[in-house]
Amino acid sequence: MRTGRLEGSAGINPYAGARGPARNPHPTVKPTDLIEYLARLILPPARSTPRRLLVPFAGSGSEMIGALRAGWDEVVGVELVYADLARERLTHADKAHQTALF
61 inside domain: yes
pLDDT at res. 1: 44
Residues of the chain where predicted confidence (pLDDT) is lower than 70: 1-27, 94-102
6 inside domain: no
Domain that holds residue 94: 32-101
The per-residue pLDDT for range 63-82, each reduced to its tens digit, is 888 999 999 998 888 777 77
1 inside domain: no
Q: What CATH code is carried by the domain that includes residue 74?
A: 3.40.50.150
16 inside domain: no
pLDDT at res. 40: 94
13 inside domain: no
Provide CB contacts within 8 A for 49, sequence distance 6+: 73
Quick one: which of 71, 83, 10, 11 has its CA closest to 35? Answer: 71
Q: In total, how many domains does the chain have?
A: 1
Q: What is the pTM of this model?
A: 0.62
